[in-house]
Amino acid sequence: MSWRVHWVILKTCLSERFVYRGDFAFATLLRFMPIITQVFLWSAIYAAGTSSERPELNHYSYADMVAYYLLAMVSRAFSSMPGLASGIAREVRDGTVKKYLTQPIDMLGYLFWHRVAHKLVYYVVAIGPFALVFWLCRGYLPGWPDAWTILAFVVSLELGFLVGFLLEAWLGLIAFWFLEVSSLLFIYMMINYFLSGHMIPLDWIVDATWFGFRVGEWTRYMPFQYLAYFPAAIMLGKYQPAELCTELGIETLWVIGLFALCRFTLARGVRRYGAFGG
């Protein structure tokens, strides 16, 4: 597709997002409710876990944990793709995927700009609540990092968006072989919630051992950490400059590999597609 087509798709998707802007804004604001519950939850955990004046759990103080959780929420706001995989699977199942095959529109390109539009509108609505939450919790946050760290954080968010999009798109494309992928998506969401660092920082499981395998040895090389943990860890100063460049390079390789995998899966899936539905 030409850049003109990309621009038209983006404008159209933006218009679609603003049609039900009231409902979209209300749903966006409700997503901030778990932040409050998580802050109180970790407060209770730290209060019950130790009696020292500056309690720590796995080298995280309560302030560190609140800061981590807030930054991980920002990361998840970029990388989460609700409904993407299930939407692709539904279109394959009911036959509406044919619109991408009969028109000069690339399926992955259209879905990409559709998600870009969604994120743009989301942050227009959510920038105020995010700013308010960070201001209220400013006492838990570390000071401003240097310019290089901020730049690396922004780049990691953009790459995290691509990793999240490509992972979900690939899962949806599996519907060309298995029409119902809901069970697979449930497994993916459970693994993602844990190994992305959304539930707890990945530092906490570095030395954990399951069935004789050290979990931390292989979770650091999987793409899930880039969806939540990695951007938050950058802002908390968990990486030295050399380590940061290495991690950004690995994340870039994941984006390239997942993109190639999605293209290959789409090409193979279209070849065996049976044109179900009306």
> Residue 276 and residue 278: Cα distance in Å, rounded?
7
**What's the DSSP call for residue 278?**
-
* Mean pLDDT computed over every residue of the chain: 81
At 265, the pLDDT band (50, 70, 90 cuts) reads very high
For 40-56, what is each residue's pLDDT tens digit?
A: 777 777 777 555 556 77
Task: List, in sequence order, every residue forming a beta bridge with 60; answer none if it has no partner.
Answer: 57
* Residue-level pLDDT at 30: 67
Is the model's pLDDT at 4 over the cut of 90?
A: no
* Residue-level pLDDT at 200: 83
Q: What is the DSSP string of 66-126?
A: HHHHHHHHHHHHHH--TTHHHHHHHHHHHSTTHHHHHSS--HHHHHHHHHHHHHHHHHHHH
Q: Is the dihedral of CA 162, 245, 196, 231 positive or negative?
A: negative
Tokens linked to 78: 């970029």
For 217-262, what is each residue's pLDDT tens digit?
A: 677 778 999 999 999 999 888 888 888 888 999 999 999 999 999 9
CB 166 within 8 A of CB 226: no
Q: Is the pLDDT higher at 25 or at 171?
A: 171
CB 157 within 8 A of CB 73: no
* Residue-level pLDDT at 277: 52
* Residue-level pLDDT at 178: 83
For 87-109, what is each residue's pLDDT tens digit?
A: 888 888 888 888 887 777 788 88
Is the model's pLDDT at 1 over the cut of 80?
A: no
* Residue-level pLDDT at 208: 64
Q: Is 240 helix (H, G, I), strand (E, B) or coil?
A: coil
For 112-169, what is each residue's pLDDT tens digit?
A: 988 888 888 778 777 777 787 788 778 888 778 888 888 999 999 999 999 999 999 9
For 193-224, what is each residue's pLDDT tens digit?
A: 888 888 888 887 766 666 566 666 677 778 99
* Residue-level pLDDT at 119: 83
CB atoms within 10 A of CB 7: 11
